[in-house]
């Protein structure tokens, strides 16, 4: 009985490996880059943030970043990034897939730049 379970487990792992073509995606494949746009909004500098998936074979979904409420003096695209009530996290792209070559971008304006470290994610291969 135990050997049947082991065989089933190994077969499942092999199938998963084939589906992902052996690609191992990690959190380091999700890049968050911030640049100053050069624009000023209500006296505060504007920043553009790009969230990219650098994994070639898998799509990132349910990407969350730490955002502490996402302060901005200009409206922020709530589809690109949205604070989650009662947490210090924001969901990126409404949790929808982020594929390689299709980054999610948003702008905000605030006195100081804000870090957006990735705190959770899933990969779908």
Residue 38 lies in a domain: yes
Residue 10 lies in a domain: no
Q: Where are the alpha helices (DSSP H) in the chain?
A: 2-19
The closest of 75, 88, 67, 68 to 46, measured between CA atoms, is 75
Q: Rounded distance, CA 65 to CA 85, Å? A: 14
Number of domains in the chain: 1
The reported pLDDT for the residue numbered 28 is: 94
The reported pLDDT for the residue numbered 109 is: 98
Residue 118 lies in a domain: yes
Q: Residue for token digits 């968050």?
A: 32
Structural domain containing residue 43: 25-124
Residue 9 lies in a domain: no
Residue 3 lies in a domain: no
pLDDT in tens, 17-43: 434 445 689 999 999 999 999 999 999
Query: Domain containing 37 — which CATH number?
Result: 2.60.40
The pTM for the full model equals 0.80
Residue 88 lies in a domain: yes
Residue 34 lies in a domain: yes
N- to C-terminal Cα distance for the chain? 31
Residue 46 lies in a domain: yes
């Amino acid at each position: 009985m135990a050997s049947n379970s082991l065989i089933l487990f190994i077969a499942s792992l092999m199938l998963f490996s084939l589906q992902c073509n052996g690609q191992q995606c990690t959190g380091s494949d999700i890049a968050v880059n911030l640049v100053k746009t050069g624009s000023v909004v209500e006296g505060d500098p504007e920043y553009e943030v790009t969230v990219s998936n650098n994994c070639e074979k898998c799509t990132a979904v349910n990407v969350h970043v730490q955002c502490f409420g996402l302060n901005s003096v200009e409206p922020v695209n709530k589809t690109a990034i949205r604070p989650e009530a009662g947490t210090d996290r924001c969901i990126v792209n409404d949790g929808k897939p982020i594929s390689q070559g299709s980054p999610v971008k948003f702008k905000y304006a605030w006195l100081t730049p804000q870090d957006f470290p990735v705190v959770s994610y899933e990969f779908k291969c």
